Amino acid sequence: MAAFSRGLGLRLSLLPRAPLPSRSVQPLTNRLFTTLQPLRYATRNNLAKPAAAAKPIPKAPSPLPSKPTTPPPNGPSTAPTTYALLLQLAKKQSPTLLYESSSHFWMKLSAWGAALMFYGYAGVNFYLMIYDPPADISPLVSYAFGFICLATAAFGSYFFVGVNNIIRSVRAVPTTTLVAGGKLPADAARASPVHLEIKVKKLVGRAPRTLIVPPNKVTIPYRVFQPQRYISPVADQREKAAAAKREWEYDQKHLMTVPFRHAGKGMKAAWYGVTRALTKTGFMTVEVDGEKLKLDVHSGWALEDGRVVDRLVNVGPK
């Protein structure tokens, strides 16, 4: 059986074999060439086509020639609302009162009294201890009193200067009225249709001054008007009338103490003036054409609570 199987296997191996199909012989070759054919075709097309010319970069449009601008005509340099207010004030024939200060009698009296006291003390000690000192004192004492005299004179100057340059009133006057009165030149109306007439209170030995300037020459550090709880004029008058009635009824029931209470009110006003002379509270520094003035915003009266003044002048540090 073994010999038979070997002989049969040998015969089978010697038989002629049929050729294999091309699909089974070259499966890998067909797959490889089918994959590479698109790549070769794309490469051949790219080599055959000339390189496309690069698109030119669009140039930026040249700026149009600027047209010469003509300067605007001369007009108001202020805000439209401010200029409208100026025109409204200019139409009035009479000046418009914008601000009026209260009395500063006690403040001035206390300030002048304190200044005279300090100046007198400095003068007497200068004469007795420096100009004609006693013969039995040391020279160091004269030097010490010299420093004391300077200090007391400085305190006197502080009180004296504190009541200087206080504004008494501010009025808006039409420029045409001032030109007609000869207070301003004829071309003053070009600057502003309205000028401010600022009166400064007088000092001892000095007449009151009057400054006439356009509104744009006046600068205040902050607004005069300070928002508060709104009270209508009718309600305000009712409250004042009710307070006066209550005070009158109280006086009728306490007639014996009326003089003392009225004297107490006067002393309170006097003490308030003395404290203001020392502390300088309630005053605003106003710059009028380069000059420093004082505006009483605590007890003074202003038109519309200061709104008109705020709209006319410059507000803010200069």
Q: Where are the domains of the chain?
A: 80-104+163-315
**What is the pTM for the complete model shown?**
0.64
Query: How big is the chain by its Cα radius of gyration, in Å?
Result: 51
Identify whether the C-beta of residue 239 lies closer than 8 Å to the C-beta of residue 221: no
3-state secondary structure of 241: helix
Give pLDDT, residue 64: 52
Give pLDDT, residue 92: 86
CA distances from 194 to 68, 179, 245, 312 (A): 35, 11, 43, 10
Beta strand ranges found along the chain (DSSP E): 96-100, 167-174, 194-200, 209-213, 218-220, 283-288, 291-296, 301-302, 314-315
| Edge-to-edge strand ranges of the sheet holding 167-174 | 209-213, 194-200, 167-174, 96-100, 301-302
Give pLDDT, residue 70: 41
Interstrand relation of 314-315 and 218-220 (parallel, antiparallel or unpaired): parallel
List the chain residues with pLDDT less than 70: 1-80, 204-205, 229-231, 318
Handedness of CA 170, 171, 174, 177 (dihedral sign): negative
**Letter for the amino acid at 246?**
R
CA–CA distance, 288 with 167 (Å, rounded to integer): 11
Give pLDDT, residue 40: 52
CA–CA distance, 24 with 14 (Å, rounded to integer): 23
Query: Closest Cα to residue 272, out of 105, 100, 158?
Result: 105
- Tokens read off for 122: 């400095």
